[in-house]
Each structure stands twice: as C-alpha cells, then as structure tokens.
Structure 1
C-alpha cells in the first residue's frame, strides 16, 4: 500500500523515539541525559548487562554499540513486534493519534510530483541567490549589511533577492524546461483571476529560503524593500510541500544544536532568528507568519522540554505571548512547558543584540519567566482588586485557566504557585511574602511585641493560653489537611502570638494542596520547627492529633478551638476599646461594660459540651465534671475492693 506524500514525515515528526523505545527497555539514568534526548539502556536485541544501546531522541535514531542494530521508530517496532512496515506504521499512527489514510492508487504519482516540486524550489533558491549579486540588488545588499550580515552569513542562510519584475523567476525556470503549472503549484508564481498570464509572487523582496527538518526547500519568505508595500513580509502560500502551521524556520539546524548550546529559543521572524543564531544562539527557530500553533509547539517540545519564547517588547509581542498561554495549557505535561523572555519595551531580539550585545541577550533569556508567571501577569496587570467581588473574579479566572491542564499533579502545582502569588498580592497587610533561598515563597513572621506592649495586662493575661490554642489548631491541621478548605477563612484571620506559629500557619495555607502536607511543610521550614510543635505536652494528648483520619473528631476540635481563640481576642479588643473611652471618670456604665466583657470571656472559655455537663464542687473548691468524678470514684472503689480481698 502506498501512502500519501508527507504522511510518513508528519508521523515521524509527531513521534518521540524515546517514548516508543521506552516501552521495551529500562533507561540507565546514570548514563542518560533525558533533557537533551540522549538515552542509554541495555540493548533489547541481544543479551547484555551494560547500557550499550543508544537513542538520540532529537534525531530520531537508535544504535547499539554491541550488536550494531540501528534504525528509527519504524524499524524498532518492526523488529520488536515482528511486524511488517505497514503494520508498524499503523501501530505508531494509533499512538500518535493519526488515522492511516485509505489505499490511494495515485499515491506514488503524488509522491513523484512532490519530489519534482521540491526540485523546482531548489532551482528557485539558486536563482534568487544569483540575483542578489546583480546591480539591481544594491539596495538589498546595503540593507543586509546594515543588519550586520556579511558575505559568509548571506551564504550560510542562502539569502537571495527577487527583482521587481513581473516574470523574473517564472521566465528563468521555464527556460530550463520546467512546466509553468509546477512553478505555480510550488507557490513561486500565481495566475490572476481574469485569466491573464502568470506572474511572479515575490517581487522587489529579499528572499529567505524555508527548509523542512530534513533540509529540503519547501517555501520562501520575502521582505519587501518598498516601505509602502502592502505586506512587509510575505510567505509562500499553502502548497503540497508547505504547511505553515506545521513548519518552523531553521528547524533542522536548530534541532541539531538544541541541548548543546543553551535552550531552544523561539523568535518572531527571519531576521530575529538569523541575528540570534549569528550571535551564538544556534538553537533558534521561528513560526512562519502566523501565531504559534499546537503542531509547532509539539515540534518545539521534540527539540527541547522548555523552549524560551523570545517576543518583541511591544504591545503586539505581549498579546502574542498572552494568546500562547491558552494554547499551551491543555498541552502541558510534567517536564514539558514554556518560558517567556520579553524584550525591553519597543525592542526586538535583533535590536537588543545590536545595541547591547550577546551578553545582554543571554541574561534576558536566562531570566525568562515560567508560563505560570505570565498567566498571573495577564490576569492581574493593570487591575485593582479592592473588593471581594473582584478578588473572587480573579480566583475564577485562574481556576478556569488551569482547569484544562490534563496532568492532575501538574495542575496541583500550578494551583499552589498561583495561591502563593495571590498570597503575596493580598496578604501584605499582615506580613511580607518573600523568596526563600531555594526559590520558594516564605512569609516573614509578625513583629515581636515591644517592651511597652509586653508589659501590658492585655498582652500578658491571655497570650500564653492563646499560644496553646494556636499550637493545637496548627497540629490538627497538619495531621488532617483535608479540613483546611473548610476552615481556610478562619485560619487566614488567625493572628499568631508565637512567631513560629505564624510561620507554620503561612506554610500550611501555602502548601494546602500538597499530597503529604506535613512532609511538604517540613521540606519548606525544616523538620525541627514541626518537631517542636508536636513535642509540646498539651498537643501530644489531643485525640485529633493522635488519631489521624478521624475527620469528625478533628473537625469538632478545630471548630471549638478557633471559636474560643476568636472570642478571646474579640473580647480583649472590646476591653481595649472600653479603656480608651475613659475620660478621667470611671462611671457605672464603664464598670457594667467591663463586667459584661469579663462574663463573655468566661463563657468563651467553656465549650458547648462543658455547658451541657453537670458539675460538682470538690473539697478544695475546684469544679469537676460529675461523669468524670463518678468514673474516678468507681476506679478508686475497685482498687480498695481488690486490696481488701487480698
């Protein structure tokens, strides 16, 4: 069965040889460098203990240094599955999500025509290169020289020139015996709607050849020399050779260089790509006249797990970056994302290189921000969040944006990072969020009380009890993280007396999405701080801390302790307000107000269960719950009975 032209190339472009081979082998992680697509394993074709089987995932080939087996993904499936070539194609097509075309009797004729079109394109490239050396290309050579391209660079990039002639390349190729229909089909010429003679598509333009990943000329790009031209840049139309949404400028050379000389950089156009490569950033590609497509993203990820999108620092560049966020989010996987290097305002990469040099560009690329940071910028920049409704709208926009991420773990990490950024934006009134030494966000503890406030009755009276309750609340949360969402608002409002408690409270809220909350907090703050919390005697005996998994008991404990803590502090503030109202005379109204506040504090100290219990007064005047006293009396009675019996 013959396949349509280009099907095998497209299928090969969608496949990752590393994933295909990875189903049959165990990679040697000590020898492999997965970030660069350099993979090693024991050979699946012969018995061995050492990893002599090498996969170059970027080039799509494997080779065994022991038995000398070699090939691509199709060969590998044929050998390991014992199937024919067409069966291997069907297996890999299903994996890539591509339907295998039905039998096409004319496939061979189409393949032959595609080969002839590629030959036509190669001859056109050579024709345009010769035209760049003619007298009428003087202004084009001056322009290229002004952009820093010397003769060697022009040769490397095969740059040419299309004179402003109606039938320049058309006449030249027809003179070589090439049929006019092929010239038109290759996108080099066009026929007018009125049925007149065909004319050159590229006129008065500098020509940039566009090649596929295998180095075959498939299209042209042209930059107008006339400032009044309708289109500054013009690409070949869609042809049997060229699909602009599935092609990248400088694809082949960038694939070779990727992983060897820094990250894969994605520029906006030809000149930016050429300037970056000439400055040492060899792994640079560009889309071709359109916004980046999903297919182009897949091509980029085949070369690098985290391409850097280097966009112009103008409004159009920023808009392009923001649009790319929504395209990329549903395609993200663990270890596969994007970073964004936004140029200074009004500059493109070529401007930066010429004005500030390669060092400045390298710093911009190294400082590229992750996709999640740009998502946050898009949803918050220029907006004011001074009401609950606006904050809720932000939360909804962020949730909707990351909902499309298919990997649950990755989605959880995005949610956690956005929660950190939200905390930074809205939590600065209470404390300051800063980057820790490992790049994670940390919140500074609240300031210690001054000597004056430490000496006040209010600070001394309830602070110790408050610290005990804070510790219980934090310990229960660490052991029962599923309750955080239910009590999140109360926890956020809980101002901690103890600086360690304040730090723990912030870490718990930030890491609430982690699978193992206690381990995540220990990883952030250190195991010592968590150990100090659980070492406190009053915490060790709390049932909700000792019996993890008892959600109902933990829920009641949290609700009670948070309510008591809130009540105590509310009453303390009420007493402070009353004291401030004193104007030199302590009248009956003030004493009544303070008495009521004291009664309220006393009620807050008793939980609902205590209020319903019956109490007895002991000989020493202390109150004891009657059920507890009865249990103690019974225990003492049984002990005395045992003694008499002995």
Structure 2
C-alpha cells in the first residue's frame, strides 16, 4: 500500500476537517460552512467519510481529499501536507539511510535549540532586572505584556557570553550555536554572543518553528538599530516573512496581505486587530516571499514609509541601481522588479504610503479607520508611481512632460498584461494631455533628448506623415484573434448587445493590423476549412513575417479560460470606446 493510501486509511477525515469546520451529520455525509470563502447563510460544504472526500458547492467550487484540504487550508505544498499527516498517523514515508536519519535528528535537535533560546530570551524579558529598560521601551511603544507573550518577545543580556553559558549547560556545543547564528566566531577562534542588550523577536516558519531572530537595540545611541540572524541552514531571510505564522489564516480570509517594513509595525498591527500584516524585515521583497504570500491571497499591499517610496529621485535611480552589480543591497521599493513578479506570479500588488511621515504603527494607533481606508484604496504600482512623478509639477511645460515620459514609460513597459499596459499608456497620455502615440513612441525610442520630443510633437501635427507605432491594445487583440479566431464572433455579439457596430478593420490604426484583421474576419465567415487553416492558406506574402511573429507571441496566451476570453472581449470594447472618442 502506498504511504498516501495508508495515511488515508488511518485518518478520520471528519476529525481533520472538523478541527476547522463545524460539521453536522446529514444522512451519510456531513455539512458545514466552507472555510475558504464567505458563506454564512447556506451550508454548502460537504464531507463524505466513506470516500474520504470533500466538496464545496458554493462560490469556490473546490473539492478533494484530506491532502488537498490541508494544502488549501494551510497554504502548504503537497510534501508539507504529506509530512504532517505521516507524523500524525505514524506512517513512515520511506526507509531512510543511517545518514539521512542522522541528518533528520540533527535538524530536529537544532530546531529544539532555537525554540529553547526563544523561551530563554522571553523569560529574561519577563523576569530579569536587566530587562527593565527593554520592558519600558515596549510599553512606551504601546505594546502590552499580553502581546509580548503572543509574539514571544524576549531580551538578550548585555553580557558577551551569558547565552553561550546557558546553552552549554543544556548540552549544546559552540559549533551548534555558531551553526544557527547565535554565536559569532572570530578568525582567532574566539566566540561570543551575537545578540547583546537587545529586544529579541523570534522569526518563525508559517508552521510556527523558530528559525532565527530579529533584534532591536534598547539604547538609542546603539547601532545598528536592527540586526537579524545571519544566513544559516535554517534561516534564509529572502524566503521568510516576519509574522506569517500569526497572519496566514487572516490573510487567506481577507484575500489580501499587508506588508510593512518593521517588526514593531507588525506587532502593533496585530495587537490592534489587523492580523493580516507581515514584514520582509527591512529588505526588498523577493520572489520567494511573494510566492509564499500567493499561497494565501491574490493581493499584496505594500504599506511603505513616505521616504522609501515617495521620492522621485529614489524611484528614478532604481533603473541604475538594478544594473549595478556591486550594489550591496536591493532597494526596498523597486516598482519594475515588483511589476515583473506581479506578472508571472499573477499577483495584484498595490502601494499605500503613510500620511504625514507617520509609521504604520502610529497611524493604526491614532486612526485605525484611516489605516483601513488607506489599505483598501491602495493604488496599483503604476498608478502610484505616476502620481509620484506628476504631483506638484508643471504639466504645461513640454520639458517636464518629456521627463515624466522618460521616467514612467519604462515602468509601464514592465506590466505583463497587454490590455493593462495599454490602459496605463492611455492614462498617462490623458494626464499629460499629449497624443497617445507620443507615449508609445517614448516607449519605443525614449525622449531622452528634448529635441526628439519636440520633433515628435511637430511630426504628429503634420498630416502627411503617417506615424506607425506599436499600440499595445491593438497588438493584444490581434494576437488573441490569431490564437483563437472564433473569439471575434463573441466580440461582435457583445458589441451588438451594447448597441454598437461589429468590430472592423477600421478599429485598428496600424495598417498591418487592419489587413490581418480582414483575413481573420474572413476566416470565420467561411465554412470550407477551419479558421486557422484559412488564415494560413490566405496570408498575404507581405504580411507573412508579421503574422509569424504575432503567432509566436500568442503561444503563451491561453484562451481556453473563460476569464481570459472575457478579458479579450472587454479589451475590444475599450478599443471601440477609444476609437469613438477620436471619431466624434
């Protein structure tokens, strides 16, 4: 019998799911409210103990076995669910070699060491006289003793070897302490406690295991203010989020994670009831951290201090910093990097900045409703950056317009979805009150030279000069129609229902797109062969290269998904709306 089948045979799925969902027996099944979406009226979540399966007949329409339930509930990968259930049932997954067993036991011993040290620090904060200043500081920051316990906050003594002596007394060695980052070992062999006279914050995996520590100074003159455990076999800062063990359930419920900069911001937010808040611990968000958040929610809101994300010079320098291989640390707010991650991870990343130079914990304490509104109304990355670069500037000045286009267009270019990208181009054109073609031209060639900008403006006013530039919206639609010509009929039906004429080549401003669309339209109005075969057999020689490039671009466009088809239809309607403004 496979391990998975043996685990299922030993488990009572009602017991596992019943720990999260209040179930009521109904015939041979059990029903309750689905834990994965809002559902307070009709119990649509059903569990069948005979088959060991579950199904939601409500909004999420998901189902599976005990493994899939835990994976969705906890945000685990299959291996994590398998290991948890194997431990719970006593099923051995596979025969381990003596070396593998030794490694497993060693990792367990080191995890026990980190937990032991966390409790040691916590007891010092609560009981030791030397922690008096630390206790006063935490109380001054508005953090209650109850909160200290929830987050297991602690205190490291100012001694150079007090922790070392404690751990040696518990049977651990210097090498053990060095391996988990608790001791520093100098070249001459001398060792000493890494954390001294600091407030200690255990950093945990989402399952709750301690893997490292963050440490804040107590004295105002001490530097640096915050330090973390070094990179170890257990602590990988780029894949961890402070507070995720306390926040992941709420993140899933609200379908949004709020990311702040500091440890104290996380702790204060949770104390005041905003328990979907986590921190990247003062560094730039990594793809691993975003993937971790994606397990629980489709949206991430970056709640940043104004001095981090609100400075034009800082944002402008990012394109240079990204290319500087000698840069020691990445910027905390990197819109271009975030947009690329947002695209391929299919996340919705938003940006909220604190008013009046307030920290998140200060805003939450003074005006929780403002915090709630700020997070719920947070703009997209591009909208935020566009606001930063345009606010307070003379938008009548041509040189200012050129500078703004230079700064913003490269950021818009990193947006993955063509329709969304086209929408931002249109929005920027409206804000600057310039012809949209100028924005696309800026994307293609840049307006680094003010002469280029003025020449472009001049050329656009000369009717005899035809300006052919890539239009993202038109490009997206032609690619989609070549990928699935039948979608054109769905578009035409939607336009007729809206009281408008069907889509025609006139809707496209680029000559090649007009000719390609005429062939696509003809392909769905004949019944001799399939639309794609018709397009291939009737493609003009002069269009062949463009056709192949567009078909290649459409290889990654999946139109079997109804949501994507609806997006194509919406994009076509937006194209028609845009054209109507020009035609009238």
TM bucket, shorter chain: 0.5 to 0.7
Alpha-carbon distance between aligned partners in 2 of 1:324 and 1:156, rounded to the nearest angstrom: 34
Q: Could you state the TM-score of these two structures normalised by the residue count of structure 1?
A: 0.53
Q: Bigger CA drift: 271-280 or 312-321? A: 312-321
> Contact (CA 8 Å) 1:59, 1:256: kept in 2 or not?
no
Counterpart for residue 613 of structure 1: none
CA gap of 1:532–1:337, structure 2 versus 1, over 3 A, is closer
Aligned to 2:433: 427
Distance in 2 of aligned mates of 1:218 and 1:118: 7
The answer to whether residue 207 in structure 2 is matched with residue 214 in structure 1 is yes
2:294 matched to which residue of 1? 301
CA drift at 1:59 = 5.0
Query: Does 2:256 correspond to 1:246?
Result: no
Superposition pairs of residues 344-363 of structure 1, within 5 angstroms: 344-354=355-365, 356-363=366-373
Post-superposition offset of 1:415: 1.9
- CA deviations 1:316-372 (Å, max 9, x no partner) are 676556414424424515852201111114211012123x32111111111211122
CA contact (8 A) 2:495 2:501 kept: no
Q: For residue 11 of structure 1, what is the aligned residue in structure 2?
A: none
C-alpha offsets along residues 354-394 of structure 1, whole Å, 9 cap, x if unaligned?
Answer: 3x321111111112111221343466567777787876776
- TM-superposed deviation, 1:217: 0.7
Partner in structure 2 of residue 619 of structure 1: none
Q: Following the alignment from structure 1 to structure 2, what is the Cα–Cα distance between the partners of residues 382 and 414?
A: 26
Task: Check if 1:411 corresponds to 2:423.
Answer: no
Distance 1:201 1:510, change over 3 A: closer
Please give the alpha-carbon distance, in whole angstroms, between the structure 2 residues aligned to 1:335 and 1:41.
30
Question: 2:151, 2:201 within 8 Å by CA — same for their partners in 1?
Answer: yes
Alpha-carbon RMSD across the aligned residues, in angstroms, is 4.9
TM-score (norm 2): 0.58
Deviation at 1:192, TM superposition (A): 2.3
Counterpart position of 1:144: 138
Aligned residues: 406
C-alpha separation in 2, matches of 1:231 and 1:532: 65
Q: Aligned runs of 1:98-497 on 2, under 5 Å?
A: 106-132=99-125, 133-196=127-190, 198-261=191-254, 263-315=256-308, 319=314, 320=331, 322-333=333-344, 336-354=347-365, 356-377=366-387, 400-405=410-415, 410-427=416-433
Contact 1:262 1:283 in 2 (8 A): no
Of 524, 527, 549, 2:518 maps to 549
Partner-residue secondary structure (3-state), 1:259: helix
Segment drifting more, 368-377 vs 306-315: 368-377
For residues 499-539 of structure 1, the C-alpha deviation after alignment (integer angstroms, 9 at most, x for no partner) is: xxxxxxxxxx99656738999899899934x46999xxxxx
Deviations 1:39-66 (A, max 9, x none): 98999x9699975835797951589xxx
Q: How many Å apart are 1:272 and its aligned residue?
A: 0.4
1:297/1:72 CA distance change after superposition, 3 Å: closer
Residues 50 and 303 of structure 1: CA distance in aligned 2, closer, same or farther (over 3 Å): closer
* Bigger radius of gyration: 1
Structure 1 residues 427 and 271: alpha-carbon distance in aligned structure 2, compared to 1, 3 A threshold: same
* SS state at 2:306 partner: coil
TM superposition shift of 1:263 = 2.5
- Counterpart of 2:498 in structure 1 is 527
Shift of 1:213: 1.4
Which consecutive residues of structure 2, in runs of 5 or more, have no partner in the other structure?
Answer: 1-32, 39-43, 58-62, 87-91, 315-330, 437-458, 465-470, 478-486, 505-513, 521-584
Change beyond 3 A, Cα 1:524–1:314: farther
Inter-partner Cα distance in structure 1 for 2:170 and 2:53 = 57
In the TM superposition, what is the alpha-carbon distance from 1:267 to its structure 2 partner?
0.9
1:280-300 per-position Cα deviation (integer Å, ceiling 9, x unaligned): 111111113422111111111
SS in 2 for 1:288: coil
